[in-house]
Amino acid sequence: MKIAVSAVSLVLVSTQVMAQPAPKFDAKGIARTETVRSQFDSQREAIQVRVDFAPGASFPKHSHPGVEIAYVLSGSIEYELNGKTVRLQAGESIYIPAGAVHSAKNTGTGITSELATYVVEKNQPIVILDK
C-alpha cells in the first residue's frame, strides 16, 4: 500500500510540475525548480527537480553523488554520457549512474523541459561540475 501512495503522490507532483508558470532562466538559459526533497533511507535522499532549457542552452559536464533518472517533458535534448551521444524527445527518459560525468543540451527551437529525479547521498551538493 505504501508503494501505491508514493506512486499517486509522484503523479500529483508531476502534474503540478508540468503546469508551472514560465521558467526564470539564469544567465546560461537554465532554470531549476526543486519540487520534492525527502529522506530515502538513513544515508540518501530523493530529490526531484524540473529543469528547463532555453533554446540552444546547455548544462556543462557534471556528475551527481547518486543516480539520476531524467524524463523529458517537452522538447528535445542531447546528452553526452560515457563518450556517447544520446538524443531524447518528449516522453523519453535516461538513467545516469552515480558519479557518471555527463552534459545536456537543448537541441530544439523551443524550451525543453525535463523532470530529473535523484537518489543521492545526504548533505552533498546535487550537482558537481566537472573540472
Query: Residue 45 forms beta bridges with which residues?
Result: 39, 120
Could you tell me where the DSSP H helices lie in 1-131?
Answer: 2-18
**pLDDT for res 22:** 80
| Model pTM score | 0.81
Q: Which domain holds residue 110?
A: 2-129
Place of cell 532549457: 53
**pLDDT for res 20:** 62
The answer to whether the beta carbons of residues 127 and 51 sit under 8 Å apart is no
CATH number at residue 69: 2.60.120.10
Indicate the number of domains in the chain.
Answer: 1
Model pLDDT for residues 13-36, shown as the tens digit of each residue: 445 445 567 889 999 999 999 999
| Reported confidence tier of residue 6, pLDDT bands at 50, 70, 90 | very low
